[in-house]
Amino acid sequence: MLPERQNQILEIAKESGRVNVESLASLFGVTPQTIRKDLNDLCDRGLLDRVHGGAIIGSTVENVGYEARRLIARDAKRSIGLAAAALIPNNASLLINIGTTTEEVAKALRHHQGVLAITNNINAANILRAWPGIEVIIASGVVRRSDGGIIGEAAVEFIRRFKVDYAVIGASAIDADGSLMDYDYREVSVARTIMENARKVILVADATKFERAAPVRIAHVSAVDVFVTDRLPAGPMRQVLQDAEVEVVETQGRSAT
């Protein structure tokens, strides 16, 4: 049980991915010191992690539950999905990885025609099978109960049968040096194989991923061709992406309808 204001702060964090001390102080009509105490309490409970100027949804070695992740930065993920889908032409083949943002790409493909989609994401497969212009192939392997992801060596070997035009992948965290990170080494093995078996790799990730930490390295961002995000943070990441010759698409300000 949390005090009402802390409950509201947690709901705001789930919606946007992060909260800001000054904005919360203004919203609730209290001092920044009061908000900092609230954030510290929530962090002590493992619900949030402190970052400069505020806090983010808490997670370091274990990912946030899948249903909760769907609520984090929903509008940003929706706009990212639309922008990424716009990069994929009709009559293309693609691999789609596990993730709530990759699911938004699947939703945005509804008007595409002649698309072959291979995925290890049961949720994405269920979305895609509804669209008449898309043929869906689902990978074999172990189904992870927490999110419907298909992982393990069987999934890796299955994906190696294909060479597709596009890969759509997500990441749980992005380090300042450009490392793409995740939580489950079995999922990482599948993600790497998806990237290796596509002619063009599209990374989809919202800005909260720059403030998160995860223990397993997928690859460096230089292995990506296009990065679709809502916004890039201030700092060295733009230079990292420029040096790696990664095309960046920022969606902040676009309509997510």
70-89 pLDDT per residue, tens:
557 788 899 999 999 999 99
Closest by alpha carbon to 110, among 91, 85, 87?
85
Tens digits of residue pLDDT in 158-209: 999 999 999 999 999 999 999 999 988 888 999 999 999 999 999 999 998 8
Position 32 scores a pLDDT of 94
Q: What is the DSSP string of 171-232?
A: -SEE-TTSEEEES-HHHHHHHHHHHHTEEEEEEE--GGGGG---SEEEEEGGG-SEEEES-P
| Structure token pair of residue 120 | 């290890």
Q: Is pLDDT of 62 > 50?
A: no
Structural contact between residues 5 and 38, judged by C-beta atoms closer than 8 angstroms: yes
Share of the chain above pLDDT 70, in %: 91
pTM of the model: 0.78
Position 63 scores a pLDDT of 47
Taking the C-alpha atoms of residue 200 and residue 75, their distance in angstroms, rounded to an integer, is 26
Q: Is pLDDT of 18 > 80?
A: no
Share of the chain above pLDDT 90, in %: 67
**Confidence tier at 128 by pLDDT (50, 70, 90):** very high
Please name every residue paired with 55 in a beta bridge, in sequence order, or none if there are none: 19, 50
Going along the chain from its start, the domains and CATH numbers come out as 4-58 (1.10.10.10), 73-250 (3.40.50.1360)
Position 71 scores a pLDDT of 57
Taking the C-alpha atoms of residue 102 and residue 249, their distance in angstroms, rounded to an integer, is 15
Per-residue burial over 22-54, b = 16 or more CB atoms within 10 Å of its CB, e = otherwise: eebbeeeeeeeeebbebbeebeeeebbbebeeb
Instruction: Give the CA angle between residues 148, 101, 82 to the nearest 5°.
Output: 130
Largest distance between two CA atoms of the chain: 59
**Confidence tier at 253 by pLDDT (50, 70, 90):** low
| Structure token pair of residue 39 | 């954030």
Angstrom CA distances, 221 to 15, 176, 218, 252, stand at 26, 10, 9, 21
Residue with the larger pLDDT of the pair 254 and 209: 209
Listed in sequence order, the DSSP H helices in the chain are: 4-16, 21-28, 32-44, 66-71, 74-86, 100-108, 122-128, 153-159, 185-196, 237-243
